[in-house]
Structure 1
Amino acid sequence: MRKWKVPLPPPLPPPPPLPARPRSRTLKPSRNPPHPKSISTQIAQLQSQTETSQSSCPHPPNSKPFRPCHMFFYGTLQDPGVLRSLLSLDDEPLLQRARLSGFMVKMWGIYPALVSCDGGKVDGMLWYCASEDRFEKLDAYETVAYTWRECEVGLGEGEMVRDVRMFVWAGDADSGELEDGEFELDRWRRFFKSSVVRNALSEGA
């Protein structure tokens, strides 16, 4: 079986430190960033792990021809401003709340990754992708650490949307590169969004 090397996470802007984990379940994590040294150490450890580990790829790249379809976003692309900047859209994209079943979120550094999970549910946003060019930009943004799959999502009151594309973790769900956790969109917006938008605008110039 062909082996692949899990790539490094995308370049990060200067990040604020992550809140320290509570010492007991009765304590809530602090929202005040601790000393910058903590996140630098975590990033260095993550990079070291990805450089030295290899795993088989359970989800090989999908070669199915593109056709206009809905996309399910569960991470940074839930933010309309990021999506608009990345794709150089004239208007703010129209996003709709949706829920995916049969998956759960794990964390790859500061980025979320979908992995299969019986009984799991993930809330996110649905967006209609009308062109292959836009899809290819999204695919490049996600990096080769992710691959796309088709799924079915719910919109509420029993309404379902089929043939939806989403980006999932391309490697082993039990990989040491992934950690348990949740993606906090509001926190990401406060500390990282501006750098992502600047990079998208500079690359599109």
Structure 2
Amino acid sequence: MVQRPTPLFFYGTLQSPIVYARVISRHLGSHFKQPKNEPAILKGYKRSRVRNAVYPAITASPFDQVEGMIAYIETQKEVDILDVFEGDDYKRVPVKVLVKSSSTEADAEVYIWVAEDDYLEDCEWRLEQFEKGQSQQWVQDIDEFGNVDNMTASGTESVGGVLEG
């Protein structure tokens, strides 16, 4: 049975090929490849910087929209890894996005911010600034990728030295 790709809307660091590769490639080895993607817009949300972090979050905001990309994730394993990477401050939810190339609406899922709004700054996060100034250093930060790096082949992760299932 062939699995259909899972469309995910990326609006932050995962738009960067080096970040996506850093998150996923350690688990897929030679099977790793960048997902097919295309520019898209998510209406009804606002992107903000997370305080003391280099990544953004989105929250519901009826009159705003977020530019990003829809990525077609090939395997459930990749989706599971992304869920761990995003952590407890985000929740994956279904949304409709506007695919820019075709001006059509598409179903996707996106990681929305579910932690306290106090952690968000009232300013826009920009991919260009991240890629120019922070991406190379950030992908080498072991602490930022600890949960993903500690995942085992069985899909469990090590949190604080304790394996969870």
Structure 1 length normalisation: TM-score? 0.59
The percentage of counterpart residues that share the same residue type is 26
CA distance in 2, matches of 1:180, 1:94: 32
The reply to whether residue 194 of structure 1 matches residue 136 of structure 2 is: yes
Alignment match, 1:69: 6
Q: Which moved more, 1:150-159 or 1:122-131?
A: 150-159
Q: How does 1:1-205 map to 2 (within 5 A)?
A: 68-88=5-25, 90-109=32-51, 110-156=54-100, 157-162=102-107, 164-172=108-116, 175-198=117-140, 199=142, 203=149
Coordinate RMSD, CA, aligned: 2.4
Aligned length: 135
The structure with the largest strand share of the pair is: 2
Whether the 8 Å CA contact 1:95–1:125 is kept in 2: the answer is: yes
Q: Provide closer, same or farther for how the CA distance between residues 177 and 85 of structure 1 changes in structure 2, counting only shifts above 3 A.
A: closer
Aligned equivalents of 2:103 and 2:127: distance in 1?
Answer: 26
Q: State the distance in 2 between where 1:128 and 1:92 align.
A: 9
1:153 maps to amino acid: V
Which residue of 2 is the match for residue 14 of structure 1? none
Report if the CA contact (8 A) 1:83-1:93 is conserved: no
1:142 positional shift: 1.3
Larger radius of gyration: 1
TM-score, normalised by the number of residues in structure 2? 0.72
Which consecutive residues of structure 1, in runs of 5 or more, have no partner in the other structure?
1-66
